[in-house]
Structure 1
Amino acid sequence: MKFLISFFLSGVLLISCASSSSKDVKSESAAEQAPTPKIEQNVVVPAGEDSVQMVFHLKNQPAGKTKLVGMLEDQRFIVDSTEIDANGNFKISKPTLFPQGFYYFILPGQKALQLLIDKDQIFELSGDMADINNTAKVNGSKCMELFYDNLANDANAKLAPKIRDVATKLKTKATSPEFKAALTQYNALLDQIDQQVEHYKKIAPNNFFTKFKVAGQNPRLHYPVKADGTLDRAKQIYDYRIHFWDGYDFSEKDLLRTPVFTNKMKRFFTELVPLNQDSINHYTDILMAKVDNYPDYYRAISNWVALKFEPAHTNLMDGEAVYSHIINKYFTDEKATWSTPDDLKKLRERAAEMTQSLLGMQAGNVTAKDRFKQNRTLYDLKGQLIVVFIYSPDCEHCRAQTPILEQIYKEWHPKGVDVYSIAANTTEREWNAFSAHFKLPWTDVFDVTNASWYPKYFVDITPEVYLLDQNRKIVAKNLNVDQLPTLFAKYLK
């Protein structure tokens, strides 16, 4: 595998951690669980108006050093550390506030102590680490008090096994008595969860914990029935998808410092949105419209989607269509204020290169010289299908896949498949050596400048494989050669 284009993402898309600024649909709450303890880096916490005095008294807790870990989206970082004495006592004191958010102590003995803190950061917590969720007592912070009340009494966690059991009964025919009884039971269980959420909204409507709790809820899964009495699965998932973000308060930027945002993004784009470029772009646009006036979420969502579907890091066949859409539409000088105009210009230039060879587009024609110094034109090939195979002679993966492609070509060329291979980023000497070694049986060309083909076919790593149909439109790309026979069978029908 050889990278042809130097990536320009990590420093451009992601802000510093120190900044303040097709599966079954499940009915459980979105993740409110502690992330896996993984320390990324140290950060400097921005200054606040008040001080921090967090005191802890923990039974069954060994002495030793503890580190306090904070988060921003999917980043983790150490924000403080201290020593635990032999009696399980320790404290964190500092003159400025931590940002509101979810934190956790990494404790000796491979344990973690979760915190959800708002601006009241002078408090005391005591409890037994043998069962901290049910023994924790908090004084001085309503947010922490509610957080541990929820951990002890969370209806989502307690009712989840019953909900899963009832959900299996909802797979019966929608008109059956068993289905109707199960649906009644299912809705009664979800009513209990809703009642708990409403309780917190009533007693602490503006508390950071309540916003965290509400944001983490998933919409209720409905069971629409078709005229023939079967479940309308497509409508069920669609309704669930379009209401997935209903309870999320995008005006509360500090929810980005909790697991809720990233977990919802992952679930939305991996389980609920169809995995194709058009659907991903469509639902990204819907989500971005919700946050147009919330700069922190505008940055977070556009960055997350761009990085998730960046072509070299996704299995999506046309990640370029998503990436270029996000960059061109949302990384504007006016809105993408987290980056410099020069960086944004480079990102847009790269996105523009990608847009020349998206799925469904007319493939670019190429003329370059073969090893006999003869001009060979891609569109002159007569096959119903054409494989465009772009390789680098010194690329390990290219050398491994070329013999596989040769075997596939021998089988499928008589059935209407041609191959047009292009040597990229190499010298004439290396290209000739490669061609002589593999004795390529198809049209193979080289242009020392890459100018004849690169504007027409985007390549980030080699080998890059495109498939063109009889009209010379791009019908598949970013392939491994062993995927080609299945596609040949599909398009040669």
Structure 2
Amino acid sequence: MRHWIVLFCFLSVTAWGQTGYKLDFTVKGWKDTTAYLGSYYGEQTRLNDTARVNSAGKFSFDNVKPLPQGVYFIVLNKSKIFDFVVGASQHFSIETSADDFSKALVKGDTDNKLYFENLQNNIARGNEADPYIAILRDSTLKEDQKKEAREKFSKISDQVMAYQKQLIANNPTTMTARLLKTTQTIDIPPAPKKADGSIDSTFQLRYYREHFFDNFDLADDALIRLPRPTYLEKVKEYLNKLYAPVPDTIMMAIDGLVERAKKNPETYKYLVWSCMFLYQNPEVMGLDEVFVRLYDKYFATGAMDYWIAASMKKSVKEYADKLRTSLVGKTGANLIMQDLNLQPKSMYDIKNKYTILWIYDPECGHCKEETPKLVEFYNKNHTKFDFQVFAVASDTSLQKMRTFIKNMKIEPWVNVNGPRSYLPQHYSKLYYAESTPSLYILDREHKIIAKKLPVKQLEDFFTRHEKFVQNRKTGVQKSTKLTP
């Protein structure tokens, strides 16, 4: 019985000794220098630890706290030297050479053995493929002369994919397998026929949406720590390519992703924050509403309080509040300000079909470049599209405003001075305009229908919007006629 107790105590001590991490390295050709342990995090890199390299090229990183799983790298002289993986086993050694870091002797860790074996397989297959790639890139050859090279290259590619699929199947929980799995494509089956015999045209889109993340676990925070910002890229591709750029639609898609990611506090945080970043200043007009709705749902409610600092949360709130008053589709606030004669002018008094709100700084170089373009568009199209410009100068100086109006020849517009206002709050609280010039378009009901458009896109926008409105009216009329 005493022997069993001694053995149990020995095993307990051994197990206790395996907490944290201890990563031993030997790099032939290195000596008497300092190496750093680095890691990836989304689009950023971080330094996690420091070690002194001795005269034999040996160095170690260790700590009582384990490392988050992911891909890590060694840094020497401010340069990233080579990658390796950190998975469940964090007590191992890697021996390599400064002449070829891809060749490594790994002890104590199956994960890194798999990682470097896959690396060597990729190099070997790459060397085999090089002559065929050269032929395929040769612009002097005709396509039929490349046929054999294309077939050979395809065969090698298939071998690489088969090797990786086998590795994943045999070692599914390893960091190496999870890394490789993110590169696997989704096979989309042919669209089936519907009951009436026609092809189900939306099947493949629905299938791809449903299976898009089959090879990517949104709740695995190790996938944030990859050499490429794969997590962010996958989310961005999913939202941008598989859903219409409409706030309601995008929010529905994001909420579905959050449900998958929130099992893990780290991925929950990263996913929500990444989406905030994507829609902070979106390329598609109107999608900044997603930023506001994300703030309201995940920050204002306190759901993100477990990680976000109070100062950062305050900044996010302030930005969301600046955006929310001037979102596309919302009713724009009225602006009442003094003109050059110190007389009040109300934007709502404009009776045209459309109002272009133009906020500028009289001394802004970009404003001086863009305003003449708007003048040209106004002179050519203000009757055609039935619009007027309500121009707001951001500077208090009436003299600067007067000079700008004269030089830019914008006398036909409704010109007012922003700071000389009859409103209880500054106009920037009603229309987000931290950069100048800023442009908003309101319809006859004062609804914001566009903003931040370059002047060169105005004609196309008005043409498309007029067509959209007309088609909608026609559709309503047809629907009304069909109603019994």
TM-score range, shorter chain: 0.7 to 0.9
CA distance in 2, matches of 1:398, 1:232: 51
Partner letter of residue 401 of structure 1? E
- The match for 1:79 among 42, 45, 48 is 48
Match of residue 61 from structure 2: 93
Is 2:431 the partner of 1:457? yes
Structure 2 equivalent of residue 54 of structure 1: 24
Q: Offset of 1:292 from its aligned partner?
A: 3.0
Which residue, out of 323, 333, 337, partners 1:354? 323
User: Does the alignment pair 1:490 with 2:464?
Assistant: yes
Number of equivalent positions:
417
Relative distance call for 1:263 and 1:85 in structure 2 (3 A) is farther
The structural deviation recorded for 1:77 is: 1.8
Partner of residue 191, structure 2: 224
**Residue 417 of structure 2 is aligned to residue 443 of structure 1:** no
Does 2:253 align with 1:267? no
Question: Helix, strand or coil: the match of 1:462?
Answer: coil
Match of 2:274 among 282, 304, 319: 304
Q: 1:66 to 1:232 in 2, by over 3 A?
A: farther
1:256 to 1:108, Cα distance in 2 relative to 1, 3 A = same
Please point out which of 86, 89, 96 is paired with 1:117. 86
The match for 1:206 among 164, 173, 178 is 173
Aligned CA distance change for structure 1 residues 436 and 275 (closer, same or farther; 3 Å):
same
Equivalent residue letter for 2:276: A
Shift of 1:482: 1.8
The secondary structure found in structure 1 opposite 2:355 is strand
Alignment partner, residue 446 of structure 2: 472
Distance 1:195 1:103, change over 3 A: closer
In structure 2, the residue matched to 1:409 is: 378
CA shift for structure 1 position 280: 2.9
- 2:367 corresponding residue in structure 1: 398
> CA contact under 8 A between 2:39 and 2:45: conserved in structure 1?
yes
For 1:330 and 1:218, the matched residues in 2 are separated by: 32
Question: Using a 3 Å threshold, how does the CA distance of structure 1 residues 310 and 254 change in structure 2: closer, same or farther?
Answer: same
Alignment deviations for residues 237-263 of structure 1 (CA, whole Å, 9 cap, x no partner): 443233222333344333322244234
Q: Relative to 1, partners in 2 of residues 1:462 and 1:384: Cα closer, same or farther, differing over 3 Å?
A: same
Give the alignment partner of residue 204 of structure 2, picking from 217, 236, 241.
Answer: 236
Q: Which moved more, 1:348-357 or 1:410-419?
A: 348-357
Distance in 2 of aligned mates of 1:79 and 1:343:
24
Letter in 2 for 1:252: D
Tell me how far 1:322 sits from its aligned partner.
1.6
Aligned counterparts of 1:463 and 1:231: Cα–Cα separation in 2: 50
Determine the structure 2 residue equivalent to 1:285. Answer: 255
- In the TM superposition, residue 407 of structure 1 has moved relative to its aligned partner by 1.0
**Residues 3-402 of structure 1 correspond to what in structure 2 (within 5 A)?**
49-58=19-28, 66-81=35-50, 89-96=57-64, 97-106=66-75, 112-127=81-96, 132-133=101-102, 135-153=103-121, 193=161, 196-197=164-165, 199-202=167-170, 204-224=171-191, 235-259=203-227, 260-311=230-281, 314-337=282-305, 338-341=307-310, 343-345=312-314, 347-402=316-371
CA distance, structure 2, for counterparts of residue 191 and residue 222 of structure 1 = 23
> Do the aligned partners of residues 349 and 491 (structure 1) sit closer, same or farther apart at CA in structure 2, a change above 3 Å counting?
same
Structure 1 pair 310–460 and aligned structure 2 pair: CA distance change class (3 A): farther
| Aligned counterpart, 1:481 | 455
Give the TM-score taking structure 2 as reference length: 0.73
Higher relative contact order (CA 8 A, sep 6+): 1
SS in 2 for 1:461: coil
Alignment check: 8 A CA contact 2:164 2:180 kept: no
Residue in structure 2 matched with residue 26 of structure 1 by the alignment: none
Q: C-alpha separation between the residues in 2 aligned to 1:192 and 1:100? A: 25
Equivalent residues of 2:392, 2:416 under 8 A apart: yes
Distance 1:421 1:238 in 2: 47
CA contact (8 A) 1:333 1:344 kept: no
C-alpha deviation, 1:363, in angstroms: 2.9
Q: Within 1, Cα distance between the matches of 2:59 and 2:53?
A: 8
Partner-residue secondary structure (3-state), 2:186: coil
How far the C-alpha of 1:485 sits from its partner, in A, is: 1.7
Instruction: Indicate the RMSD between aligned Cα atoms, in angstroms.
Output: 4.0
Secondary structure of 2:216's counterpart equals coil
Structure of greater Rg = 2
Which runs of 5 or more residues in structure 2 are unaligned? 1-17, 134-153, 468-484
CA distance in 1, matches of 2:414, 2:463: 22
Deviation at 1:205? 4.1
